[in-house]
Structure 1
Amino acid sequence: MTTYVLIPGAGGSAWYWHHVERELIRRGHDVVAVELPGADARAGLPEYVDTVVETVVREVGEHRESVVVGQSLGAFTAPLVCARLPVSLLVLVNGMIPRPGETAGEWWANTGQEAARRAFDLSEGRDPDAPFDLATYFLHDLAREDVDASAEHAAEESDAVFATPFTLDAWPSVPTRVVAARDDRFFPAAFQRRVAEDRLGITPDEMPGGHLAALSHPGELADLLEAYARA
């Protein structure tokens, strides 16, 4: 049995993980899906890390070693958790991989995300100058019931976390794996590969799905997480 700590991206909704959570529990694992205070204008990275730690301690205790998984913006929080809890493995899924001292607000320009998104749009025949559309970049490969439910669970992300520097001087000494969804239109897979190799020296493993791959392909993501934990 493995304990998985699942950290969501922008908005902070633990609901994002509900399919993967069900898959992992069905396979005999413990799962802690964390609800973050995304809409709280007072909550930056320290408060996010505190929330993760407090949730884990409350649900499984402070001494249980876990696999920590961060999605998208959750990649800024997940490495910081490694300094507070026993972690056997860190996994980033379509993650915003930070550098020391960088804020999540600076990350976009520092990595060239916008240029990568525009180039990918052009390669697939989309107008990169069209108004930003959630369905195009986040919901395009989700089942109808998840598209409908996502509206109930969507939350605004305050600016506070985007202004908080990533405080680690170096990446935690925890085995790290990176997952890139090959149909991600927001963080194209080639872009994720470049960033992961440049910042961590890690080539991502690719899986099907878009930016919200835990909703569209939970079985495949659970398979990867189990394979990583076994290894």
Structure 2
Amino acid sequence: MYVIPGRARAHTHAHLYTRPQVIDVCKSSGSHYDDLVKYLLMVRKKVKEPKVDTELVYAYAKTNALGDLDTFIHGTHQANLQSVGDRLFDEGHYEAARVLFAFIPNWGRLASTLVRLHRFQEAVDAARKANNPKTWKEVCFACVEEGEFKLAQLCGLNIIVNADELDEVSEFYQRRGHFDALMGLMESGLGLERAHMGIFTELGMLYAKFKPEKLMEHLKLFAKRLNIPRLIRVCEEQQHWKELTFLYI
């Protein structure tokens, strides 16, 4: 017969099934999550409450019973999966959080979780489904930090089409010395349907600083799509006189 942990037993009485103190005591002990799972399963036979189901999901996660967790969430329940997923994420239980965010689904939080798990290809896939600048940037920057530049470029192309986001991406790469990867990103961005003046100008500025042999050709090919004053300033700083003359003509 199952016995409730010592401290929790003191709380059991005729209204046991509706007393949240039992759950709180089991949780506060820190080491009784296996007991809490058994207790909550017993409670579920008597009452149907969101708190009970929510705490059962959390207890499954804390005991690393991911198979039981997956089975439970695919059944009928009243658990607040988002709140549990957020708690698990904040506590560093990323694998359990991943299960919940994938089921909900919450693609942005799933992408964040997969980044923590270093599952970058899956994080990119989740970011594609979330499709918002915040998530794209988080995954992109994480990939850059890990040297996953091909995946970072997939993310980056979805960011730099927003002119307001371009400078942040460029600065992130440059602060870490990844100039070639950044130029590769911008070069790929030239062919995008939503390519804008900022991308053409940024690439020209990067050529002026890091690959001057490609600067003149770039200026000639895309003269009408460049922010000339910005490029003039950079060419003056880098002393590219021939290119500067071309820009002034």
Q: Normalising to structure 1: TM-score of the pair?
A: 0.25
Instruction: Point out the structure with max Rg over C-alpha.
Output: 2
Q: TM-score, normalised by structure 2?
A: 0.23
Tell me which protein shows more helix as a share of its residues. 2
